[in-house]
Chains A and B, each alone.
Chain A
Amino acid sequence: MFTKSFSATWKPRGPNRGSNVRLMRRIIAEDAEWSLAIVPLLTDLCIRHIVKNFRNNPILTQLLPEHQQKVLRQLPPDLPLAVTANLIDDENYWHRCCEQRWPVCHLDCHGGSWKRLFFERHLENLIKHFIPGSTDPAVILDLLPLCRNYVRRIRVDQFLPPVQLRPPPHNGDQSDSGSEGETEEPSMDHYQLGELVAGLSQLEELDLVYGIKDCGMNFEWNLFLFTYRDCQSLAATIKACHTLKVFRLTRSKVDDNKARILIRSLLDHPALEKLDLSHNCIGDRGARAAAKLLSHSRLRVLNLANNQVRAPGAQSLAHALAHNTNLLSLNLRLNCIEDEGGQALAHALQTNKCLTTLHLGGNELSEPTATLLSQVLSVNTTLTKINLSCNHIGPDGGKQLLEGMSDNKTLLEFDLRLSDVAQESEYLIGQALCANREEARQRALNPSHFSAPLTAKGPENPVG
């Protein structure tokens, strides 16, 4: 191309100015397609070099901001974390890293920070695939100095048990849950979080499920074991973690004793606000321990859904609730507190001035509880959401609740589905709620509370 153009420009003038080098050069310069831009800038070259050798010689902070941007834009996302973790804060880089590793990323669940998302998911991944005994614990602990400042939440929904010999599960096929509990416990312990959590200075949320996903036909009961040692080490871990705000331990077969161990370690915890022990097998003793926790902590949300809490447990919870000033939300869905427990809770609500959300769905409640609740409705001014679905409240109870609703101006949601309430009263209660909601909207001049129910119910939907 160059030669062509050169000859094209050169030939017509050729005879006149033959062998002059300077002229030749001038002619080259006059080439229409040549421009100075073809020559890369030295800075560009340097940046390219830096990017190329970033793995061995990371130079970033010394550069000018604009050059930093360029370098970051060109860095490959597969650099070792040891190099990048504490050096790069640029969100775009971590965005690329995340997108490369995971097709779907929920940035909102990680505080809107790509870096945090990356490290949290990376760590969760490592924990998920950690096999005690065979995996080197250093794999996780090495990451600790890199991610300690960024990880605020650990959400692990699977803990792999240690590898077992093949024969025993085949032999013990018929002898199910009874045999596996005691004999194989020492070898069934899962990864101990203690060291990791102690190293994470920013940890606020711990969401654990002691179980296995996608086991398919390899199912064994002992894969889903939350052993005593696990429990004790977890208790020690959460006790030591003073920054913890949210603790979730769901679907892990936590029974009364384990719940008591855990809750004892949480007594007087400085930061804990949210405790979720749903989908376990906690009975009345565990509920009593939770009640004690209510009066010895600043807990704001307590979730004991789908457990085995019965009337005594509910009564002790109610006793703690009567004078509590912290708890905002109490969830006792799918328990069996029955009327006795329901009445106790209703009594407690007459004095409580703090609770806003109460979920008593599927608790075998019936008319007497409804009677008491209707009295509560006319007195209490803090409750905004009550869920009484899947109970046997009956038409009379519905009427009484309707009466109670007529005096209430604060309740925004009242779920009475599948609770044998007459349609008419349910409709009227719905209208009262509508009026309340409109009033609340007028009061706040902020229609956002219409979306609030969605978010409130959001976490429960996938569980059901």
Chain B
Amino acid sequence: MNPPVPLGILEDKEEEHLATQVLGPSINSDNPQERIQARRLRIAARLEARRREALGEYLDGKKESEEDQSKSYKQKEESRLKLAKLLLYGTELVTNIQVATDIREIHRRVEEEELKRQRLEKLENEVKTSQDKFDDITAKWEEGIHKKIPQELWELLNSQQVHCAGLIEDKNKLISELQQARGPGHSVPARWGRLGAYNWELKIKDDQYVKDLKKQSEDICVLLERMEEQVKTVMRTFRQELNHIEKAFEVERQELLSSNKKKWERALQAHNAKELEYLMNRLKKVEDYEKQLSKQRIWDFEEYNMIKIKLEQDVQILEQQLQQMKATYQLNQEKLEYNFQVLKKRDEESTMIKSQQKRKMNRLHDVLNNMRSKYAKQIKQFQEENQSLTSDYKRLVIQFKELQKAMRHFVLIDEEKFRDFWVMNEEEAKGLISRAFDVDRIIHTQHLGLPWTAPDFWFLKNVGPLFQQQQKSATQILEEVLMQTEEEGSEADQELESYLDLPKQVSASTTRKILMLLCDESGFLIESKLLSLLQPLEKSECYLLRLDAIFSALGVESEDDLYKLVNFFLKYRAQHLSSQEGEMMPALEPVPKGEEEEEKKEKEEEEEEEDGESLEEEEAESLVEEEEASTSPRLIHPNDVLKILEAFVKGLKKPRDARAPVKLQKAARDNSKDSDYWKALATVIPRSRQNLWDGLYAALEKYHLVLMRRAELLLECNTLEQQNTELQQLLQKYLGSKINSELQVPPTQVLPISTKSN
């Protein structure tokens, strides 16, 4: 069924094509073969097209350099495509056989299926008909049971027998039919019988099987052939392509070699030419140098002669000099010998002195050692002393501080006492003065009948001792603030607050914190020398001195300046904080300096007394504020301090000179005006008025005397009246007594008038 297909080699496909055409149609299936042919033609066409394409591409030649490079690459690509095609279509060719076998198998199966189906159909039909017949026969058996007459029964049996024979005949017919259908024209050997029929069919199948086997072996042969052929062609083409590639590479390599050789030769030629040039140059140079050498030689020779003569002359001179030198040498030798002797003697002496000196030195060393030990002892002593003294000093300082504290306390108390005394005296004086004024007023209004006006003096309104408001210097404030920090634990704040009058809005601790911050941050303002000096001091002192230095650098001198600085800080913080805290801080007013300051001072003096009472209330307020503002210094970032300071220094433009002399000594109370005050109080009634009063006094004395006499007279009169009344009473008593009745003539009738008057 499979024709001996010429095995596909791509190179001789045309021959192959011819061969297939010559061999003509295949036994089994034309279609696949035609397909194969068509495919092959297609392969050829495609290959050719590709080749043409490649050639065209090659001819086009985009760039020469690229072409050079890609010659081998192109060859490779071409070969690759070619080989891929070869492999693909070779494989297809080989597998074609498998596919053809497959389709044959399918055809066979389909045929088989069809035959099977037909046979089954036939058998089923036969089964149906025979079943009908069989049914008839069995039905008749039923009839036969009822028949009693033997003849009838016999007839029935005969007919049944005929029917059965017909049935069997049908079956046999079918069998033979089946045999006929299988092999028409073939006579079945009679002796095989029924089983033989199947065997006969089997025989046909066997034949077919053998045929199939043969076909398949042929197929396998073809397959093997094709495979071998394929392998061969593949190998051949691979080799060819390899050769092509190798050739391409070789050509490329040759070209490369030749080009490189050319390059090399060119380079070599250039090199040779250069070499020649160098050689010529060298020869020329050699000649030049030779000439120069000969010249040099002649010149050198002449020179040599000259020098020789000169040197000989020199030798002569030197010999002469040598002689002279020898003579001097002799002389010198003698001198030196003498000197040597002298020196020897001196040496001896010096050794003597040396030994003496040595002894002396030893002694002095001893002394020195003694001194040293003494010195050490003394140092120790002094150190001890120093220690004791420092401890003493410290103790004293502490004592002094305590004393100061006490003193401050006492000062305060004294002031209070003084003030109390003052007030008491003043009240007394004022009482007196008011009495005097009252008297004066009475005198004027009642005695003299003149209108009286109350005299108006400033000292009348004054209450308490006279105060000169003092400007404390910045350092004092500092000291106080820092002192306060030290004593904060032990003493009550209120007491401190009382002599530390800070502005309302700033509390002491806030100030202190700000100052500490300032001290920590602006160390650059302090001189380095001072810093080194500050090292051994205590913390608070250190702070104090540092702040002092910083303030002197900043120009902060007075208390106001300090508070201004503190306020400035707080204001800055307020600006940075939210607006709610801003209300707490009153805006810092730029206070005008100089003349206004003086006036303000006086006003303050006057208002001092009133302020004193309200001070305690304010303290309470400030305490509240302090609690609120206590967080403030923490909120000022250390980095901002310098900015604030800069702003402050810019803002603080004031005349330095005006402030300079106003440095006041502390606590010296000015009592110069006190005497004036008191004197003024004493002389509240002027002298003229006193004289008036004196005159008035004399007149009134007289008036008094008259009045006195009159009073005596009045008294006398009164006593006389009294006597009179007493006498009257006595009279009445006498009149009323029983004696009268006994009497014949009662006195009553004698004295009617007197009774009537009672």
Interface residues of A (CB under 8 A from B): 174, 333-334, 336, 361-362, 364, 389-390, 415, 417-418, 423, 427, 430, 447, 450-451, 453-454, 457, 460-461, 464
Interface class of chain B by DSSP: helix
Q: Are A174 and B199 in contact (CB under 8 A)?
A: yes
Residues of chain A within 8 A (CB-CB) of B94 are 461
CB-based contact A417/B38 at 8 Å: no
Residues of B within 8 A of A (CB): 29, 31-32, 35, 38, 42, 80, 83-84, 87-88, 91-92, 94-103, 105-106, 109, 195, 199, 223
Contact A454–B32 (Cβ < 8 Å): no
- Minimal beta-carbon separation of B508 from chain A (angstroms): 85
Question: Chain A residues near B31 (CB, 8 Å)?
Answer: 418
Cβ-neighbour of B102 out of A174, A334, A453, A461 (below 8 A): A334
Sample 22 A-B pairs with CB under 8 A, ordered by A number: A174-B195, A333-B102, A334-B102, A334-B105, A361-B99, A362-B106, A364-B106, A389-B102, A390-B102, A390-B103, A417-B32, A417-B99, A418-B100, A418-B102, A418-B103, A430-B42, A447-B84, A450-B83, A460-B98, A461-B223, A464-B98, A464-B102
Say yes or no: B42 contacts A427, CB within 8 Å: yes
Q: Across the interface, which residues of B come within 8 angstroms of A450, CB to CB?
A: 83-84, 87-88
Give the shortest distance, in Å, between A7 (CB) and chain B (any CB). 63
Residue of A nearest to B45 (CB): A427
Q: Is the CB of A457 within 8 A of B95?
A: yes
Give me 20 other A-B pairs in contact (C-beta within 8 A), A417-B96, A447-B84 excluded. Answer: A333-B102, A334-B102, A334-B105, A361-B99, A362-B102, A389-B102, A390-B99, A390-B103, A390-B106, A415-B99, A417-B99, A418-B29, A418-B32, A418-B99, A427-B42, A453-B88, A457-B95, A461-B223, A464-B97, A464-B98
Which of A334, A390, A415, A447 counts the most chain B CB atoms within 10 A?
Answer: A390
B98 to chain A: which residues have CB within 8 Å?
Answer: 460-461, 464
Q: Measured between alpha carbons, how far is A7 from B80 in the docked complex, in Å? A: 74
Minimum CB–CB distance for A369 against chain B, Å: 16
Determine the distance from Cα of A174 to Cα of B202 in the docked complex, in whole angstroms: 10
Closest to B90 in A: A454
Question: In the docked arrangement, what's the CA distance between A423 and B101, Å?
Answer: 21
Chain A nearest CB from B476 CB (Å) reads 95
Q: Which residues of A contact B84 (CB under 8 A)?
A: 447, 450
Among A451, A454, A457, A464, residue most surrounded by chain B Cβ atoms (within 10 Å): A464
Smallest CB–CB gap between A427 and chain B, Å? 6
Q: CA A361 – CA B84 in complex, angstroms?
A: 24
The answer to whether A423 and B99 touch (CB under 8 A), given A174-B199, A390-B106, A454-B91, is no
Q: Which of A334, A389, A390, A453 contacts B91 (CB 8 A)?
A: A453
Separation of A333 and B42 alpha carbons in the complex (Å): 27
- Distance in angstroms between the alpha carbons of A454 and B234 in the assembled complex: 13
Chain B residues in 8 Å Cβ range of A174: 195, 199
Bound Cα distance A216, B100 (Å)? 27
* CA distance in complex: A348, B99 (Å): 26
**Distance A454 CA – B95 CA, assembled complex (angstroms):** 10
Q: Which residues does chain B contribute within 8 Å of A364, judged by CB atoms?
A: 106
4 closest A-B pairs by CB: A464-B98, A390-B103, A450-B84, A362-B102
Nearest CB in chain B to that of A392: its residue: B106
Number of CB contacts from chain A to chain B under 8 A: 62
CB distance from A361 to the nearest CB of B (A): 6
Q: How far is the CB of A299 from chain B (nearest CB, A)?
A: 25
User: What are the residues of chain A within 8 A of B103 when measuring CB–CB?
Assistant: 362, 389-390, 418
In the complex, chain A residues whose CB is within 8 Å of the CB of B96: 417
Query: Pick the contact of A461 from B35, B95, B100 — CB < 8 Å?
Result: B95
Q: Which of B87, B95, B199 contacts A451 (CB 8 A)?
A: B87
In the bound complex, residues from chain B placing their C-beta under 8 Å from that of A461 are 94-95, 98, 223
Give A450 to B82 CA distance when docked, in angstroms. 12
> B99 to chain A: which residues have CB within 8 Å?
361, 389-390, 415, 417-418
Contact residue among A418, A427, A447, A464 (Cβ-Cβ distance under 8 Å from B80): A447
Nearest-CB residue, chain A, relative to B110 = A364
Q: Do A457 and B91 touch (CB < 8 A)?
A: yes
In the bound assembly, the distance between CA atoms of A417 and B105 in angstroms comes to 15
A69 to B83, CA, bound (A): 44
Is B35's CB under 8 angstroms from A417's CB? Answer: yes
CA distance A461 to B195 in the complex (A): 40
Report the minimum CB–CB distance from A187 to chain B (whole Å): 26
Give the chain B neighbours of A333 by CB distance below 8 A: 102
Task: Kindly list chain B residues whose C-beta atoms are within 8 Å of the C-beta of A334.
Answer: 102, 105-106
Give the residues in chain B near A427, CB-CB below 8 Å: 42
Tell me the smallest distance from the CB of B120 to a CB of chain A, in Å.
17
Contact A361 B102 (CB under 8 A): yes
Residue of A nearest to B83 (CB): A450
On whether the beta carbons of B106 and A423 are closer than 8 Å, the reply is no
Which residue of A417, A423, A457 has the most chain B CB atoms within 10 A of its CB atom? A417
How far, in angstroms, from A295 to B129 measured CA to CA in the complex? Answer: 51
Smallest distance from the beta carbon of A183 to chain B beta carbons, Å? 20
Q: A417: which B residues are within 8 A, CB to CB?
A: 32, 35, 92, 96, 99
A451 and B84 CA atoms in complex are apart in Å by: 8
A403 and B29 alpha carbons, distance in the complex (Å): 29
A421 — nearest CB in chain B belongs to which residue?
A: B35
C-alpha gap A51/B673 in the complex (Å): 144
Contacts of B106 in A (CB 8 A): 334, 362, 364, 390
Identify the closest chain A residue to B199 (Cβ): A174
- Distance in angstroms between the alpha carbons of A427 and B49 in the assembled complex: 15
Instruction: Please name all residues of chain B whose beta carbon is closer than 8 Å to the beta carbon of A460 when the two chains form the complex.
Output: 95, 98
Q: Kindly list chain A residues whose C-beta atoms are within 8 Å of the C-beta of B105.
A: 334, 362
Question: Contacts of A361 on B, CB cut-off 8 Å?
Answer: 99, 102
Which of B83, B101, B102, B223 has most A Cβ within 10 Å? B102
A288 shortest CB reach to chain B, Å: 22
Closest residue on chain B to residue A434 by CB atoms: B46
A457: chain B residues at CB < 8 Å are 91, 95
Nearest-CB distance from A300 to chain B (Å)? Answer: 23
A445 nearest CB across to chain B (Å) = 12
Q: How far is the CA of A460 from the CA of B35 in the complex (A)?
A: 22
Across-interface contacts of B38 in A (CB, < 8 A): 423
A364: nearest residue on chain B (CB-CB)? B106
Task: Kindly provide the distance from the CB of A172 to the nearest chain B CB, expressed in whole angstroms.
Answer: 13
Per the bound structure, the CA–CA distance linking A36 and B99 in Å amounts to 72
The CA of A390 and the CA of B91, in the complex, are separated in Å by: 17
- Report whether A464 and B87 are in contact in the complex, using a CB–CB cutoff of 8 Å: no
Chain A contacts of B100 at CB under 8 A? 418
Residue pair A464, B91 in contact (C-beta under 8 Å): no
Chain A residues in 8 Å Cβ range of B95: 457, 460-461
Residues of A within 8 A of B88 (CB): 450, 453
CA distance A362 to B106 in the complex (A): 7
Nearest B residue (CB) for A449:
B84
In the complex, how many angstroms separate the beta carbon of A73 from the nearest chain B beta carbon?
34
Least distance between B456 CB and chain A CB atoms (Å): 119
Interchain nearest-CB distance for B128 vs A (Å): 26
Measured CA separation A430–B39 after assembly (Å)? 10
- Closest Cβ of chain A: how far from B51's Cβ, in Å? 16
Q: Which residue on A lies nearest to B32, using beta carbons?
A: A418
Q: How far is the CB of A390 from chain B (nearest CB, A)?
A: 4
Query: From residue B398, how far is it (CB to closest CB) to chain A in Å?
Result: 95
Chain A residue nearest to B94 (CB atoms) is: A461
Q: Who on chain B is nearest to A175 by CB?
A: B195
Nearest-Cβ distance from residue B189 to partner chain A, whole angstroms:
14
- Nearest to A363 among chain B residues (CB) is B106
**A427–B39 alpha-carbon span in the complex (Å):** 8
A431 to chain B, nearest CB (A): 8
Nearest CB of chain A from residue B374's CB, rounded to whole Å: 93
In Å, the complex CA distance between A389 and B105 comes to 13
In the complex, A417→B89 CA distance in Å? 13
Chain B residues with CB under 8 A of A464: 97-98, 101-102
Contacts of A447 in B (CB 8 A): 80, 84
